Structure 1
Amino acid sequence: MATYDSIGGTYAHTRRPDPRIAARIHEALGDAATVINVGAGTGSYEPSQTVLAVEPSSVMIAQRSAGSAPALEASAESIPVADDSADAVMALLTVHHWSDLEAGIGELRRVARRRIVILTFDLEMNHGFWLLKEYLPEAAAFDERRAVPVERLVALLGGARVETVPVPHDCTDGFLASFWRRPEAYLDPRVRAGISLFAQIGDGHLQPGLTRLSDDLASRRWHRRHADLLEREALDVGYRLVVADV
C-alpha cells in the first residue's frame, strides 16, 4: 500500500480546511487548553491551542505552514510522549490508515487527559455515495478492507457520542465526497491525487469509471439522474465526529 510519503505531495493545495467543518471540530474539542493532533498531516483543522502534531510522513510534515505547532515524526500506535500530555487529542480522517487500530486508540486514551475527538466516516453511507456506487465500485471494494466501523471506535473508546458532519456543496477540503455537487472535479488528476483512496488504487483501475462519468456529464445524464443534489446546500455522505470523554 502506498504511503503518504508518496501520495501526500499535493495535500497542502487540495486539502484546505473548510471553516464550517473546522467549527464543528473545534466545538467538539470544548474548552481544552492543550491539544495534540495525531495523524496530523499538513495541519488542517488544528486549533490555536495545539501543542504538538504527530505524523509519520516527512512529506506531510514538510507542508505544514510556518508558525504551526511543532511536529513529531511518529505513528499513532506509538506516540513518544508522557501519559496525560494534553487536555484533548484529535485524530481526523486517519484511523483507517493505522496498522493497529487497538494500539492507536489505546495511545489516544493514554495521552488525553479529558477528551478524544475523531473524525471518520460511516462505511455504509460513504459507499452509497453516487461516485462510488455508480462509477467506482472497485474503489468501494478496496475501501472495505481498511475502513473502521464507527461502532468499533465507540467500543474501543469505552463509549462516545457520534455526531453527523454534513458536507457543504462548496467545501474547500478536497476529501473523497467533498465534490458531491461538483462532479467534474473528480476528472481532475490533481483532485484525485489529494484523495488517498484514489491515489492508492491508481488511475489505471479508475479510468473506466471516470470515462463513464465524463460521458454522463457531457450528455447531462448525471445532471438528470442527480437533479435533487443540485438544489442542496449540504449533504450527509457519512462523515462522523466521534467524541469521547476519558
Structure 2
Amino acid sequence: MVALYDTIGIDYANLRRPDPRIAAAIEAALGDAESVVNIGAGAGSYEPVGKTVAAVEPSAEMIAQRPEGSAPAYQGTAEALPLDDKSVDAALAILTVHHWGDLAAGLSEMRRVARKRAVLLTFDPDCRDAWLLDYLPALAELDAEQMPAMEEYVRHLGPVSITTVPIPHDCIDGFLYAYWRRPQAYLDPRIRKGSSSFWKLDGLEAGLQRLEDDLASGAWEQAHAELMSADSYDAGYRLVVAEFD
C-alpha cells in the first residue's frame, strides 16, 4: 500500500473530496465517540469534526497532502497501530481495508485500541449490479479478490450492523462506482486516476472504447434510462459497525 499510494496519491486530495452526505452517515455511525483513530487516513477525507482525531497512514505522499490544521498523522499501518490499548473511543477505516496486507491483524488492532466501536466504510464484493462491469468485467474479479466478504467482519469483530450507503448522483468523492449516473467520467484518464482499481488493471482500452461508442450512439442511455432519473443508487458500499463492551 505504501508504494502504491506514493505513486497514485499525487493528486488524491483533489480527486477524492469527501461527500457531505456520506460524511453525515459516517458521523452518525461514530455516535458519541469523542476520540477517533482514522486508519488509512490518506489526505484526511471523512475525518470527523469536533472530535479528537489521530490519523494513521502508511504513505508519506498522502500525509503530505493533508491540509493545514488537520489532525496529527502518524506513518504506520493498520496491522500495527501506534496507539495504546483502549486509547480511543472509536476506530475508523474508510475505503481502506482492501489495501491492508493482513485483514485479521488490522481488525484485531481496531478492537485493541477502541473502547466503544469500530466503524468501516467498505464495499460488498457480492454486489455485482454496477453497469460498469458490463464494460470492464475485470473489475468484478478484482473486487472479489481484494474486498473482504461481509462475513469476515463478523468473524473478526463479532456482531456487526451492516447498512447500505446510497451514493448520490452528484457525489463529489471520486471512488470507483461514484459516477454511476455520469458515465462519461470513466473516459477521463484524470478521473480514473482517483481509483486504485484502475491502477491495478491492464487491458481496459477495449471496454472503455465500447463505453465511448455506446455513449455516442445513445445505446447506454437507452439501456439505463431508469438511472438518469434516480437521485441515489446502491452501488455496493456498506457501513459496518461493531460495538464493543
CA positional deviation for 1:12: 0.4
How many residues align? The count is 242
Give the aligned residue type for 1:207: E
Instruction: Give, in whole Å, the separation in 1 of the partners of 2:52 and 2:37.
Output: 6
Secondary structure in 2 matching 1:77: helix
Paired residues for 1:199-218 under 5 Å:
199-202=199-202, 205-218=203-216
Deviations 1:181-212 (A, max 9, x none): 0000001111100001112224xx11111000
Instruction: Give, in whole Å, the separation in 1 of the partners of 2:176 and 2:76.
Output: 25
Instruction: Give, in whole Å, the separation in 1 of the partners of 2:243 and 2:110.
Output: 11
Paired residues for 1:124-143 under 5 Å:
124-125=126-127, 127-132=128-133, 134-143=134-143
Q: Which residue of 1 aligns with 2:155?
A: 155
The root-mean-square deviation of aligned C-alpha atoms, in Å, is 1.1
Confirm or deny: 8 A CA contact 1:154 1:242 kept in the other structure. no
Instruction: Give, in whole Å, the separation in 2 of the partners of 1:114 and 1:43.
Output: 22
CA positional deviation for 1:50: 3.9
Secondary structure in 2 matching 1:67: coil
Deviations 1:149-176 (A, max 9, x none): 0121122111111111000000000001
Q: Would you say 1:220 and 2:218 are equivalent positions?
A: yes
Secondary structure in 2 matching 1:123: coil
Instruction: Give, in whole Å, the separation in 1 of the partners of 2:226 and 2:119.
Output: 32
CA positional deviation for 1:80: 1.6
Q: Which residue of 1 aligns with 2:196?
A: 196
Q: Would you say 1:230 and 2:228 are equivalent positions?
A: yes
Confirm or deny: 8 A CA contact 1:7 1:200 kept in the other structure. no
CA positional deviation for 1:17: 0.4
Q: Which residue of 1 aligns with 2:20?
A: 19
Q: Which residue of 1 aligns with 2:11?
A: 10
Instruction: Give, in whole Å, the separation in 2 of the partners of 1:61 and 1:33.
Output: 23
Secondary structure in 2 matching 1:41: coil
Give the aligned residue type for 2:217: S
- Give the percent of matched residue pairs that are identical in Structure 1 and Structure 2: 57
Give the aligned residue type for 2:210: R
Deviations 1:40-74 (A, max 9, x none): 11110101214210000111111111101000000
Specify which of 94, 97, 105 is matched with residue 96 of structure 2: 94
Specify which of 67, 70, 73 is matched with residue 68 of structure 1: 70
Give the aligned residue type for 2:153: L
List alignment gaps of at least 5 residues for structure 2: none
CA positional deviation for 1:85: 1.3
Q: Which residue of 1 aligns with 2:41?
A: 40
List alignment gaps of at least 5 residues for structure 1: none
Q: Which residue of 2 aligns with 1:183?
A: 183
The TM-score with structure 1 as length reference comes to 0.96
Structure 1 window deviating more from structure 2 (85-94 vs 1-10): it is 1-10
The TM-score with structure 2 as length reference comes to 0.96
Confirm or deny: 8 A CA contact 2:38 2:91 kept in the other structure. yes
Q: Which residue of 2 aligns with 1:55?
A: 57
Structure 1 window deviating more from structure 2 (90-99 vs 150-159): it is 150-159
Stretches (4+) displaced over 2 A: none
Q: Would you say 1:77 and 2:79 are equivalent positions?
A: yes
Q: Which residue of 2 aligns with 1:113?
A: 115
Instruction: Give, in whole Å, the separation in 1 of the partners of 2:138 and 2:118.
Output: 33
Secondary structure in 2 matching 1:3: helix
